[in-house]
Structure 1
């Protein structure tokens, strides 16, 4: 059974794909080489839930502009969202080939590894995503969930949950509840130790 926190991570990952734009590819041709309007339309389709149309638009962009990682990243996220993890990994690999510094693709790949139970690989990829983009809120959230649920390291989980809240404006009530749960569990543990 998938826990609520893991479902939240998947939803965050889908939303994050929308942030992977054409201009984030360092060392590539100028962003004008890929029509920003076409990319924006594809993102709009994705945001509106028109996933088949968004996928067709991203696929067209990826074929016409294979040196940009944004279309490949979003295709990978869409494939992961419908459960085609093998295809998603291939598409995310294409994104990372186009731009090894793509933190969104790196974090998306980490989530796929986490789903397969490859916790150590996922941990390394989330850390890599944060090394590439330290203020990447969603990567902090995903790493917090991994520390919390898979590694049972509440102090590390709290650090990343809190960083996520700080970066995202602190309005995520679900994450605030998770923080409170971990803080309460930690204070109960300390209380028991002190009483003995």
Structure 2
């Protein structure tokens, strides 16, 4: 059965982003776009309600039910992985994302989730690889740009690449992240001769 995109993607993105700061010091978490049919929409609504009520185990059970009914769909596994990620269960989050990629290699959100896990484990080269893989599949993925900017900024100290990805992130979210805009202005000041850089 072919599933279609719907409004639930926005709801779960907002749900999973709740409480995550949008500053350069944080790793952004994001839920993938959901694909659903009418029966799936009911389960997704119930999973979202369970997450809102602080019942991630119920949400996970509903998502696992979706995965059983749609055995070739990777998206339920990405969401299961995100639940594990939010609980700090890095191994289980990684396993779920890898399963999603095995089922549907084109899902950029699974690469993004693997990047988040690597980022949390402080494995910057692996996180970089996964965020780049996410962007290779979906160039408009704002949070992959943001997290690449973080890595280039803080780990690799490559301000030009960091600024490129910060700018792409801000373009994709219509510049609605004041903390990041402010940080970008500060970084740009470091690159200009009169901005405090030691370079001539």
Q: Which residue of 1 aligns with 2:172?
A: 167
Q: Which residue of 1 aligns with 2:199?
A: 193
Displacement of 1:193 in angstroms is 2.9
Alignment RMSD: 2.2
Q: Which residue of 1 aligns with 2:33?
A: 20
- Of residues 1, 24, 27, the one that matches 1:5 is 24
8 Å CA contact 2:119–2:127 kept in 1: the answer is yes
Farther off after superposition, 43-52 or 144-153 = 43-52
Distance in 1 (alpha carbons) for counterparts of 2:34 and 2:68: 16
Q: Which residue of 1 aligns with 2:91?
A: 86
Displacement of 1:189 in angstroms is 6.4
Q: Could you list the runs of 5+ residues in structure 1 that have no partner in the other structure?
A: 23-30
Distance in 2 (alpha carbons) for counterparts of 1:33 and 1:96: 25
- Of residues 113, 137, 155, the one that matches 2:142 is 137
1:132-190 per-residue CA deviation (whole Å, 9 max, x = no partner) reads: 00011111111111111111111101110110010011011121122122112222567
Distance in 2 (alpha carbons) for counterparts of 1:118 and 1:107: 14
Distance in 2 (alpha carbons) for counterparts of 1:48 and 1:167: 31
Q: 1:169 to 1:95 in 2, by over 3 A?
A: same
1:55-80 per-residue CA deviation (whole Å, 9 max, x = no partner) reads: 22212212332311111001101101
TM-score relative to the length of structure 1? 0.80
Q: 1:34 to 1:125 in 2, by over 3 A?
A: farther
8 Å CA contact 2:190–2:197 kept in 1: the answer is no
| Structure with the largest fraction of helix | 1
Distance in 2 (alpha carbons) for counterparts of 1:132 and 1:172: 24
TM-score relative to the length of structure 2? 0.78
Distance in 2 (alpha carbons) for counterparts of 1:100 and 1:139: 17
Distance in 2 (alpha carbons) for counterparts of 1:63 and 1:77: 18
Distance in 1 (alpha carbons) for counterparts of 2:124 and 2:184: 22
Displacement of 1:48 in angstroms is 6.0
Distance in 1 (alpha carbons) for counterparts of 2:93 and 2:34: 18
